[in-house]
Chain A
Amino acid sequence: MIVAEQKPIHEILAMLPEVEQLLVLGCDTCVTVCLAGGEKEVKLLCGAIRLTNVKIGRVKGMSVERQCDREFLQEIAGEVEASGAVLSLACGAGVQMLAETFPDKIVLPGLNTLFMGSNEGSGYWLERCIGCGDCMLDLTGGICPKTRCSKGLMNGPCGGSQDGKCEVDPENLDCAWNLIYNKLKRVGLLDRLMENRPPRDWSKAHDGGPRSLHREDARL
């Protein structure tokens, strides 16, 4: 899922314009699961905004199934039109979709979108994929070095691996290449690590420019 966290309240308040009605709009998918922008967070944020001196007539809260889907946004067109501005608690994709769907509205981000990752237990999320466009998990035992190695090395581990941890943050960060080493050893594929991996084709990642996907077979 996409993991995000709420911006500090002072940043949110500073970006709010003077309007008759502010709509705080949550998203019921990823950001609900990671406790950043679901119905509950919408309610709390609405309350916090009402308690401040921000010059806003009314603060209204609601959420939609997915803000990154135009179809779901059309369902709340009336509420959006009735508001002077919308504070979106979706990921960056949702915020942008909202801004595009309602071109005359002021749309603001209430979250910082962080990464694609997983929940690792109570209050702990971990980045697992950078969406590089050229998956190599078959070579690395299902552990992504592009994402989980601090330097994104293709031929690790570097000299900063100690006690299974990465020197960048030895308290919290596992050395991805140590994990890869242990996994490949366990499944009897350690010889794969002896092959030198060539430089990557970064044109498949964001470095090649903003990406889009066109599929003939998926057209109606």
Chain B
Amino acid sequence: MITLKTESKLEALLERGEFVVTAELGPPKSVDAGILDAKIAALQGCVDAVNITDNQTAIVRISSIGTGVYARSHGLEPIIQMTCRDRNRLAIQADLLGAYLHGLRNLLCLTGDHQCFGNHPASKQVYDMDSIQLINMVRDMRDRGVFQNGEEIRAGKKAEMIPPRFYIGAAANPFAEPLEWRVNRLEKKINAGVDFIQTQCIYDMEIFSRWMRTVVERGLHQQVKILAGVTPIRSLGMAKYMKESVAGVVVPDSLLERIGAAENPKEEGLVFCAEQIRSFRAMEGLAGVHIMAIEWEKAVHGIVEAAGLLPRPREEV
């Protein structure tokens, strides 16, 4: 019998050894519930949990927690993303208490994209903490029952200590530089208390396999559940953009050639994505896959099906 740290369904699935599938759900830039409903419908039944982004690329959207509560009421298992860009430690902890109150149990701790990339470049950045410090703070809240300042999480002196118990995730980027430091950085996150990792989107299978081999050699896969990140390519233009303009993403020339030569590049992108997931299933040390179909949630079902990962396991009560 495995003892679980939290009430997270994602944790339960990972701990019983399922190869899990998570996907990204980007909240809309307005309060258009119809858009949200369509995205939720596209992901129902084909993934085990959904990441709800937090002002992704520094563009204002419905909050991650607000969207998470909504998605949960529609039967999805949300993973709330929390960045350090927009909130100091007071706001982060308060929001986490609120999220927990609403039944949210998974948290992805991120540093956050710089505000210069978004639609409010004149805003003041916060970065009171970074992702590693955030992981550590949330772990201490859960396992030691204390706030960042060391104070116990209880309503009053005689009240019971009732801390939020989040299943803690973080990102890892095997492709950013310095490359030789990237596994160490994963280890730093493990030391800070992370439970699961979702990687940056992978196109270069060679660099990724090398990173993964080092992870396994060092036994880190036994200390953290690693989900390999993928983003389906929709066109040659998108592939080139990812290669040239997105820092920390490596797109090999062979993939550009393959997409360029394809009769239907969009279809080819999906086929490649499913192929990747099949190789991830065979790769030692991976616990699942994370599909970031940017503003293309409806592609997820087909990818998961083509990768042979349907139906999704039922959660045992």
Please report the number of residue pairs spanning A and B whose Cβ atoms sit closer than 8 angstroms: 88
Contact check, B133 vs A198: say whether CB atoms are below 8 A apart.
Answer: yes
Q: Number of B interface residues, CB 8 Å?
A: 34
With A162-B247, A194-B184, A194-B188 in contact, do A155 and B178 touch (Cβ < 8 Å)?
Answer: no
With A160-B248, A196-B188 in contact, do A151 and B127 touch (Cβ < 8 Å)?
Answer: yes
In the complex, B22 has a CB within 8 A of chain A: no
With A157-B176, A160-B114, A162-B177 in contact, do A167 and B247 touch (Cβ < 8 Å)?
Answer: yes
Of B89, B136, B173, B200, which contacts A196 at CB under 8 A? B136
Contact check, A160 vs B133: say whether CB atoms are below 8 A apart.
Answer: no
On chain A, the residues within 8 Å of B148 by CB distance are: 199
In the complex, A154 has a CB within 8 A of chain B: yes
Contact check, B177 vs A163: say whether CB atoms are below 8 A apart.
Answer: yes
In the complex, B181 has a CB within 8 A of chain A: yes
Please give me the residue from chain B that is nearest to A158 by CB atom.
B111
Most chain B CB within 10 A, of A152, A156, A160, is at: A160
In the complex, A153 has a CB within 8 A of chain B: yes
A158 to B116, CA, bound (A): 15
In the complex, B204 has a CB within 8 A of chain A: no
Question: What interface size band does chain A fall in?
Answer: 20 to 34
With A193-B184, A196-B136 in contact, do A160 and B89 touch (Cβ < 8 Å)?
Answer: no
In the complex, A67 has a CB within 8 A of chain B: no
A31 to B85, CA, bound (A): 33
Q: Mark A90-102, 1 if CB is under 8 A from B, else 0.
A: 0000000000000
On chain A, the residues within 8 Å of B130 by CB distance are: 151, 153-156, 158
Contact check, A161 vs B248: say whether CB atoms are below 8 A apart.
Answer: yes
On chain B, the residues within 8 Å of A181 by CB distance are: 178, 181
A197 to B131, CA, bound (A): 11
On chain B, the residues within 8 Å of A117 by CB distance are: none
A161 to B128, CA, bound (A): 20
Of B84, B89, B136, B200, which contacts A159 at CB under 8 A? B200
On chain A, the residues within 8 Å of B125 by CB distance are: 151
Most chain B CB within 10 A, of A152, A155, A197, is at: A155
On chain B, the residues within 8 Å of A161 by CB distance are: 176-178, 247-248
Most chain B CB within 10 A, of A168, A175, A196, A199, is at: A199
In the complex, A170 has a CB within 8 A of chain B: yes
In the complex, A202 has a CB within 8 A of chain B: yes
Most chain A CB within 10 A, of B85, B130, B176, is at: B130
A15 shortest CB reach to chain B, Å: 22
On chain A, the residues within 8 Å of B114 by CB distance are: 150-151, 160, 167-168
A157 to B187, CA, bound (A): 14
Please give me the residue from chain A that is nearest to B246 by CB atom.
A167
Per the 8 Å Cβ criterion, residues 109-149 of B in contact with A are 111-114, 116, 125, 127-133, 136-137, 148
In the complex, A140 has a CB within 8 A of chain B: no
Most chain A CB within 10 A, of B116, B171, B173, B185, is at: B185
What are 21 A-B contacts defined by CB distance under 8 Å?
A: A151-B112, A153-B111, A153-B130, A154-B133, A157-B177, A158-B111, A158-B131, A158-B176, A159-B200, A161-B177, A161-B247, A163-B177, A164-B177, A167-B114, A167-B247, A170-B247, A181-B178, A194-B187, A196-B191, A197-B133, A199-B128
**Besides A164-B177, A199-B129, 9 other A-B contacts (C-beta < 8 A):** A156-B130, A157-B178, A158-B176, A159-B247, A159-B248, A160-B113, A167-B247, A168-B116, A196-B191
Interface, chain A (partner B; CB < 8 A)? 150-164, 167-168, 170, 175, 178, 181-182, 193-194, 196-199, 202
